[in-house]
Structure 1
């Protein structure tokens, strides 16, 4: 059986969706951003996830983004398409469209707003997993969905041959270790503030927002943990704390990641779509203060 690091990668980035000043998808920005991510050592790109502003992308825009990234990476990185919604039929449709567009895998968020029972979550995820031949990474983020995937639910879903991984943005490290011990599910840290503890506890890799800017540092962090060099890993994590705080602890990750990429000249604008708003001046000042030290590898 193909291992999770080959199915999804290890150093994944939750890619922003570059936009022009008028809010339309920026073709030049997408090309520049994907080049940047590949150059920085990213081996998995999540398209149309939370950081990609999936709720405000049309299906046509999502398809365009997936197709554009697939064509550009040309096998140099895995392309994971976000297909989760609160509607099972809609998620099944999006999964099939993503497969047709050439995605390598699917990211499936726990259904949001409806707050289904655990049995409903299982039924939803199985329906999507059965819809294509692509491997599935579950996305457990109760702070956004309003409901968490219980450990028993994850264990049950792990029995499906195409459900292979979890992006964990729940932050319950003991539960994560318990599910890893009981199943073959690969865990990916979805909380940049906790990248090191998840990796040290057995996570396969990261799905990082901060990685839009410093995927190279994340690659070094993953490598250090895999070598057992925790001293280097701690130093790397410490060096990333100011940037992580500026992106993840100010307004919102998607907003601040775009602001950082625009400041670095990777994308043309920091435009986001309502209900998101661009960075406030005080947040931009905080970001500008930390970017110079992190623009090049240590």
Structure 2
């Protein structure tokens, strides 16, 4: 199925397809002069940054990020980042006094940092999505092994149990890296976020095909999954080690997402599944949530923007989706027990 996370990670990609040096804010000469002066003097207005005083080639002190304990390093930013951030803050405060409207800097709205987090609301909602997935996975596990009959007293009757376990792990991994990326947008966290999202989209497509076509034979599953796994793995290697092509990445993700949507929507109607309304609700509500990405507005109080709100909408959809998975397990288990008798 194209569950809310297939939609979710599709939207994450659309959120990041920006030119980092083509926004109105960083094109402002006043901003550019401020950043240049800050990088030369180590000060933006009345604020001065110790990390601007050390170069990466300084053999006496070493790079700034190696001079603090590990537990403090995450909250530290390099000289350029601090200069950009505080120059942006000062300019936006001045504009606010003159009733000006916020603009984007390097492709992002002017967010307010909290405990070193670049987009705190998106971080919080990403963590809540991770927690919702964990809750759904645990409840699924308890239902299978403690509340429903087991085959020979050991194995569940539900044929797709291992597929959903893998799905849960990939989903939690993806939301984890989403939280990390929104905390600190650097090349490494960006690639980890993109890669984990592509992996989940690809696996979700495989899962949609296997479940909707009721593929239970292991050999057939391998035959169906192998080419898709190869494609996804190749794409991940491409964006990580050759070129992070945003346009191509978007096409790949849209293709996998739309294919899942069609598969699950059609299957819901053809199969007459007893809980198909939950399936359709997630797809329909997820589609409406996409409108938040289209209605892009500056963050309220420097914290809450459309992207963060979209992250918030996926939290209740997570509970509904895992409810559908549990219902599907009960439905298939009931059929399995009847056949066994």
Q: TM-score normalised to the size of structure 1? A: 0.26
Identify the structure with the greater helix proportion.
2
**Which structure: larger Rg?**
2
| Higher strand fraction (1 or 2) | 1
TM-score, length basis structure 2:
0.24
